[in-house]
Structure 1
Amino acid sequence: MSDRYELILTCPKSLESLLAEEAAGLGLEEVREQTAAIRGFAGLETAYRLCLWSRLANRVLLVLRRFPVVDAESLYQGVLEVDWAEHMEPSGTLAVEFSGNGSGIDNTHFGALKVKDAMVDKLRTADGTRPSIDKIDPDLRVHLRLDRGEAVLSLDLAGHSLHQRGYRLQQGAAPLKENLAAAILIRAGWPRIAAEGGALADPMCGVGTFLVEAAMIAADLAPNLKRERWGFSNWLGHIPALWKKLHEEAEQRAAAGLAKPPLWIRGYEADPRLIQPARNNIDRAGLGEWVKLYQGELATFEPRPDKNQTGLIVSNPPYGERLGDEASLLYLYQNLGERLRQSCLNWEAAVFTGAPELGKRMGLRSHKQYAFWNGALPCKLLLFKVLPEQFVTGERRSSQASEESTDEPAVAPAYQAARLSEGGQMFANRLQKNLKTLGKWAKKADIECYRLYDADMPEYALAIDLYRDWVHVQEYAPPRSIDPEKAQTRLLDALAAIPVALGITPDKVVIKRRERQAGTKQYERQSTQGQFMEVTEGGVKLLVNLTDYLDTGLFLDHRPLRLRIQKEAAGKRFLNLYCYTATATVHAAKGGARSTTSVDLSKTYLDWARRNLSLNGFSDKNKLEQGDVMTWLEADRGEYELIFIDPPTFSNSKRMEGVFDVQRDHVRLLDLAMSRLAPGGVLYFSNNFRKFQLDESLAARYAVEELSATTIDQDFARNPKIHRAWRLTAKG
């Protein structure tokens, strides 16, 4: 065997230059960078040292041979030429990892099979002894990379990825890999700060990966000191005495490092479920004396190191993977920036994010930015010096009308955040203008839930509803013709403006994305917070849920129809089809209906309906029926003097036969319902399908009057196509 080997160290994409610098410091020579890897030359001692000390590498591969490959047979022959008896026993176990393609080998499983066959054939003894496959814990793990006709055949000295340090057995929802966390800390200057005795805090620490990696750097702990099983452990070329010497040196350095006074390293986490897993990780790493953990919300984060030390704030705030998540996190990033400005003056800060546009909303100028990849997700590391000259802030108070008026809606003290952009200020002005007009109308009409804004400015495609002191924001998905980056910038501008314009805190804003809904998507659960709020309308109390579903349980545009039903319900039997949360039923009961029957397919919404009725003291004579409306109508034999139907545009629940299409099926639906209408009764029919056309044949059988214009309140006057409504009665 050679005394000097070619080594390849793999790493996450974007860490190549950092790894090259680290590896050169550990003794690797002639270092060259490749995509997601570096290569160089060194003896076995350096190879061992790289395994033990590299904080950034995934694998340390010792190259056995490079050879050309033109087809599967030349691949087999090239592997066969290696004297495998120098590397493993014939009775040993092996695993083969194959990557790349070409030369007629386009299937990695086939490529791995050819490598395995060559090794087995080379090692098979006369009595038939041959290596077996063990993919989990083999004696030898072999890697072959095929690229543009060249095979690079290597031994994996690590065995399994070096980012798996062994301390993190419990993980959060989206943990950073340990070597990526270490790279972020190195880029952020933590080795320098630690050497100067500085402090470190992570305000959203999750399961503590940044904290442990930072403490290991500060205490001079080899990241893989505690690993017991290595890829070279059963390799015949392994020199145990050399490894023992290096391992003992690392243990001595660790003991000396841990004997030093610990640096001030603290983590804070709002989710109580992550506290114990994080503490377990810290204890497994042997760093319980160095790292302390506390439960706390970001809003209360305030590092308090001893002797007024400064240091590094490091954070990997969530940045969302689903549509709409980024928008809902705007206020988190603003809050993080606010905490840095208010409580971390003269510190350095590092924010790692997959949503750099959100990072720009923190009210701080970053002096450096680095591109990283977190798996397949492009990310950025934003570095800040928390100094007043780097602040991008200003107070923008909600400017109500200059003259005082008792008709003005009451608002909370204005939210102070980063200075609004020109677009954001323009949007804030529009909201304040709408609030001035609609606030007076709502107060006079005793309405506490109404639509404030509905894509009034086409470039800001939002619907904004007020529910008392809460704001419910729905983002309409932008058309494909709009540049996604511009659409996101406008969205964030608008969201930044909402608390400022309305004088509320960001925790009172709920954000969702509304796209074209098919079937039952509009009813699917989006969250599981289960927080209900009681609101009033026309003398009744109703429960709304702003977080868990796309809709809140109260269709604001139907307010006039509900109030009409309340006025007309006295002494009548009322039928509510597709009743949803039965808000119209509550109004009918309030108006003195003799009885009510409400039908819906969803048990969830019928339970909600039951709570709405109970909240108002209505339980007797109010039936709730679960079932497909069409099927239910065909079987029902009751008579009703007042019927309300507001069907979905489409419905394809598993509990119903076929698919309901309001345009196709409304004639049959109305005929079935009209057959249940008592003499002299009234049926109200509405829907929100923009292209809906009422079938002309209905006018031949019934007296039909369109009421759409009279069922649109002032808050929906800008969007009169929000729904259409008709009044149907028997002819003659």
Structure 2
Amino acid sequence: MTQFDFFATCPKGLENLLYQELQGLGAESVRETVAGVHFTGELSLGYRACLWSRLANKILLPLNQFSVSNDQELYDGVAAVQWEEHLSPSSTFLVDFSGTSFAIRNSQFGALKTKDAIVDRLRTATGERPSVAKQNPDIRINVRLSRGRAVVSLDLSGESLHRRGYRLKQGAAPLKENLAAAVLIRAGWPDIAASGGALIDPMCGSGTLLIEAALIAADIAPGLLRPRFGFERWLQHQNDLWLSLREDARERKRIGLARELPEIRGYDADIHVIRAAESNVLTAKLDHWVRLSRKELKDFTQPTHKVLAPGVVVTNPPYGERLGDADALAYLYRYLGDRMRESFGGWQLAVFTGNPTLCHELGMKAHKKYKLFNGTLESELLLFSVHARTEKPANSEGSQREPERRKHVPAPVTLSAGAEMFANRLKKNHKQLAKWLKKESIQCYRLYDADMPEYSVAVDVYGEAVHVQEYAAPSSVDERDARRRFEDIKAAIPVALGVDPADVSYKQRRRNAGTSQYEKLKVREKRAPISVREGQASFLVDLWQYLDCGLFLDHRPLRLRIAQEARNKRFLNLFCYTASASVHAALGGARYTMSVDMSRTYLDWARKNFAENGLGEQKNRTEQADCMQWLASAEGEYDLIMLDPPSFSNSKRMDGVLDVQRDHVQLVDDAMRLLAQEGTLYFSNNLRTFVLDENLEARYNVENITAATLDKDFQRNAKIHQCWKISHLSRRN
């Protein structure tokens, strides 16, 4: 039988896998090179490689190779091929030309010279000429020019083999099918599938990894769904041989699908992406074996049935193309790592990413790393063995007790009389709150708020850290006395609360103009944000770098109320700050959340909060805008709205000035225009002298719920905010 020399192309990084695959298909004289593998075999091997290769882009049959120092040599080398043995004058063809040289300076010129040589050769041999077809040609000719040598090949594949034929719909950043197959093979999926282990992709996109996993598990040739191959209209094509190979593949598919396949599941937060994945799975005729559902990362758990052995989680998460994305995604990766340790002990994790640095956030050490290329983007596949978390953190989901603060044992210190008095007040306040804190599982609360006039500070506890805000002293207070009292405060807090002095942040509150409240403070040492719990949510708070730390504690009851009311609701959060209310709404089952704020700093923070809770951005939108302008032109309908404007703002990003007393009627009216007939608007602000316009009470159902939105730690400061529940007059009771 005639032996042919073949060349299989592939993405960079897949050469060794393709080498092994071709050997398994019966190839001989196999030799790797950059982005490809040379091999020899009978014609049937070329057909089999087209049908069965999960990794190759092209299977090429070289017809001639020669040196090229000018365009005439290119023409002559192509014309030397006996093209009349490969295509007829009635055939259509297309030239794929790659590479350049001093003589051939662009690929279009090279393709043109190649086309001319083929046409002239056939016209001389037959008296007729073939036609060029850019769409669906009968024959594709591949020419590769490198280092002054050209290789002219017949493309047996036709279109690239990664186009299996099932992916009719795709997400924003699709993974090519052969690269997905390579990821699965490197992750050990063939052996895991054979042992009955499951495969899950928690961020599945259009489902490519899932479909390729099912094809591998069921022993299905990836080329069976393709409408045609390049060799089928080749003059030397042996159709009987091809039909025999294809029927053998179909029989293997029937046998494979008759077996009980392992569990293969895919989740994504975006319902539109899931619909695209469902369409692709259906086209691949694997809808009986691949299960898909819309699910946030927060709901990602191990299957409870049909899993005979530990499985593998394989995913290609987002890697951050926009400024600020990587910062938010760090928390998403961290959440994924936590989820794996909590629910997938004994499993494997395979993460394919264009930003390997983010994988440090998983909190696990990769035991294998592979460099691969996703198009031109250098990427990595990292493999992890997951070890179960031996002890669930006290503040993890489901915990019903107050997280224990790390007790710091201070060095013996003698407090001044004033410091001793202040320390005693802190201890007294904590004793009064202790039972309530434990019962409600609260770890962030206000402990002290200028209870004693001479010590005019607010003391807030955030888990194991303390945030102290010094109110600006009036001019009547002697500056030396103010400094002395502040030193008393600094001495008393570590002693009274048992915290490390390094974990106490001190700031002074002043009225701010423009964007100064968004800007970072000058700090000696950069400290990372800490994660704290509130209800079912986790939030990032920065006690060190910003004047406001990211979580307004006085709105805790309102946020928890929103969480309870949000199921299946469309939630709008205006002046959203770091979107903590939106996170609660999303965790409470909201259909959709929209968070609007003028500060890019706060919106980036909001995206980190979503990621910290395993929430995708598809259902949780953020928009940077002046809320007054946004409200005036916004469209849509929301079932639940939170409107919490500042008392005053004259930011440079605004056209005018926001004064909540003057502007609140317009704000409420515009928000009510977007509120569904049966919806609820919560309007709140922290202007102590604020008076609600009585005309609003004539137009809407208005209920002052301020008292109900003040928890025990804020009841001694009843003017910290005011809050109203507003609905349409025609709302059904």
TM-score tier (shorter): 0.5 to 0.7
Listed as ranges, the matches of 1:173-322 within 5 Å are 173-304=172-303, 305-306=305-306, 309-322=309-322
In structure 2, do the counterparts of structure 1 residues 376 and 398 end up closer, same or farther at CA, with 3 Å as the change threshold?
farther
| Aligned-pair identity (%) | 41
Indicate conservation of the 8 Å contact 1:365/1:384, yes or no. Answer: yes
Distance 1:141 1:390 in 2: 58
In structure 2, do the counterparts of structure 1 residues 580 and 111 end up closer, same or farther at CA, with 3 Å as the change threshold?
same
Distance 1:238 1:459 in 2: 72
Listed as ranges, the matches of 1:300-699 within 5 Å are 300-304=299-303, 305-306=305-306, 309-388=309-388, 404=427, 406=429, 432=465, 434-435=467-468, 451=517, 454-457=520-523, 460=526, 531-533=573-575, 544=597, 546-547=602-603, 548=622, 580=654, 582-587=656-661
Distance 1:222 1:534 in 2: 52
- What is the DSSP-based 3-state SS (H/G/I as helix, E as strand, rest coil) of the residue aligned with 2:233? coil
1:256-281 CA deviation, whole Å, 9 max, x = no partner?
A: 10111122111122211122221121
Hey, what does 2:89 align to over in structure 1? 90
Alignment: residue pair count: 525
Distance 2:169 2:208 in 1: 11
1:688-726 CA deviation, whole Å, 9 max, x = no partner?
A: xxxxxxxxxxxxxxxxxxxxxxxxxxxxxxxxxxxxxxx
In structure 2, do the counterparts of structure 1 residues 455 and 66 end up closer, same or farther at CA, with 3 Å as the change threshold?
farther
In structure 2, do the counterparts of structure 1 residues 87 and 344 end up closer, same or farther at CA, with 3 Å as the change threshold?
same
- What is the DSSP-based 3-state SS (H/G/I as helix, E as strand, rest coil) of the residue aligned with 1:61? strand
Indicate conservation of the 8 Å contact 1:211/1:267, yes or no. Answer: yes
In structure 2, do the counterparts of structure 1 residues 455 and 81 end up closer, same or farther at CA, with 3 Å as the change threshold?
farther
1:170-221 CA deviation, whole Å, 9 max, x = no partner?
A: 1111111111111000000001111112211111112211111111000000
Amino acid at match of 2:520: D
1:298-325 CA deviation, whole Å, 9 max, x = no partner?
A: 1111122326642111111111111211
In structure 2, do the counterparts of structure 1 residues 612 and 125 end up closer, same or farther at CA, with 3 Å as the change threshold?
farther
Listed as ranges, the matches of 1:59-208 within 5 Å are 59-124=58-123, 129-208=128-207
Unpaired runs of 5+ residues, structure 1, are 416-427, 475-492, 509-527, 536-541, 555-561, 566-575, 597-602, 621-732
Indicate conservation of the 8 Å contact 2:165/2:227, yes or no. Answer: no
- What is the DSSP-based 3-state SS (H/G/I as helix, E as strand, rest coil) of the residue aligned with 1:293? strand
Q: Which moved more, 1:127-136 or 1:392-401?
A: 392-401
In structure 2, do the counterparts of structure 1 residues 612 and 367 end up closer, same or farther at CA, with 3 Å as the change threshold?
closer
Amino acid at match of 2:36: A
- What is the DSSP-based 3-state SS (H/G/I as helix, E as strand, rest coil) of the residue aligned with 2:235? coil
- What is the DSSP-based 3-state SS (H/G/I as helix, E as strand, rest coil) of the residue aligned with 1:329? helix
1:44-78 CA deviation, whole Å, 9 max, x = no partner?
A: 11110100000011111110011111100011011
In structure 2, do the counterparts of structure 1 residues 563 and 108 end up closer, same or farther at CA, with 3 Å as the change threshold?
closer
Amino acid at match of 2:195: E
Hey, what does 1:18 align to over in structure 2? 17
In structure 2, do the counterparts of structure 1 residues 159 and 553 end up closer, same or farther at CA, with 3 Å as the change threshold?
same
1:494, CA displacement in angstroms? 10
Indicate conservation of the 8 Å contact 2:9/2:37, yes or no. Answer: yes
In structure 2, do the counterparts of structure 1 residues 334 and 340 end up closer, same or farther at CA, with 3 Å as the change threshold?
same
Q: Which moved more, 1:397-406 or 1:131-140?
A: 397-406
1:373, CA displacement in angstroms? 1.5
Indicate conservation of the 8 Å contact 2:210/2:265, yes or no. Answer: yes
Distance 1:245 1:160 in 2: 22
1:126, CA displacement in angstroms? 8.3
Indicate conservation of the 8 Å contact 1:198/1:311, yes or no. Answer: yes
Indicate conservation of the 8 Å contact 1:215/1:290, yes or no. Answer: yes
Cα RMSD, aligned residues only: 4.9
In structure 2, do the counterparts of structure 1 residues 244 and 543 end up closer, same or farther at CA, with 3 Å as the change threshold?
closer
1:96, CA displacement in angstroms? 0.5
Distance 2:651 2:250 in 1: 74
Distance 1:225 1:543 in 2: 49
In structure 2, do the counterparts of structure 1 residues 551 and 64 end up closer, same or farther at CA, with 3 Å as the change threshold?
same
1:129, CA displacement in angstroms? 2.5
- What is the DSSP-based 3-state SS (H/G/I as helix, E as strand, rest coil) of the residue aligned with 1:337? helix
In structure 2, do the counterparts of structure 1 residues 458 and 353 end up closer, same or farther at CA, with 3 Å as the change threshold?
farther
Q: Which moved more, 1:28-37 or 1:54-63?
A: 28-37
Distance 1:445 1:229 in 2: 71
Hey, what does 1:54 align to over in structure 2? 53
Indicate conservation of the 8 Å contact 2:648/2:657, yes or no. Answer: no
Q: Which moved more, 1:268-277 or 1:332-341?
A: 268-277
Indicate conservation of the 8 Å contact 1:15/1:183, yes or no. Answer: yes
> Structure 1-normalised TM-score?
0.62
Amino acid at match of 1:334: R
- What is the DSSP-based 3-state SS (H/G/I as helix, E as strand, rest coil) of the residue aligned with 1:373? strand
1:6, CA displacement in angstroms? 1.9
Distance 2:155 2:252 in 1: 26
Q: Which moved more, 1:155-164 or 1:345-354?
A: 345-354
1:434, CA displacement in angstroms? 5.0
Hey, what does 1:713 align to over in structure 2? none
Hey, what does 1:524 align to over in structure 2? none
Amino acid at match of 2:375: G
In structure 2, do the counterparts of structure 1 residues 455 and 11 end up closer, same or farther at CA, with 3 Å as the change threshold?
farther
- What is the DSSP-based 3-state SS (H/G/I as helix, E as strand, rest coil) of the residue aligned with 2:231? coil
Distance 2:311 2:529 in 1: 43
Unpaired runs of 5+ residues, structure 2, are 396-402, 410-425, 445-460, 472-504, 560-569, 578-594, 604-621, 629-645, 675-680, 686-690, 696-733
Indicate conservation of the 8 Å contact 1:586/1:612, yes or no. Answer: no
Indicate conservation of the 8 Å contact 2:92/2:133, yes or no. Answer: yes
Hey, what does 2:42 align to over in structure 1? 43
In structure 2, do the counterparts of structure 1 residues 390 and 35 end up closer, same or farther at CA, with 3 Å as the change threshold?
farther
Distance 1:287 1:64 in 2: 39
1:228, CA displacement in angstroms? 2.1
Distance 2:330 2:213 in 1: 28
1:9, CA displacement in angstroms? 1.0
Distance 2:330 2:50 in 1: 41
1:34, CA displacement in angstroms? 1.7
- What is the DSSP-based 3-state SS (H/G/I as helix, E as strand, rest coil) of the residue aligned with 1:70? coil
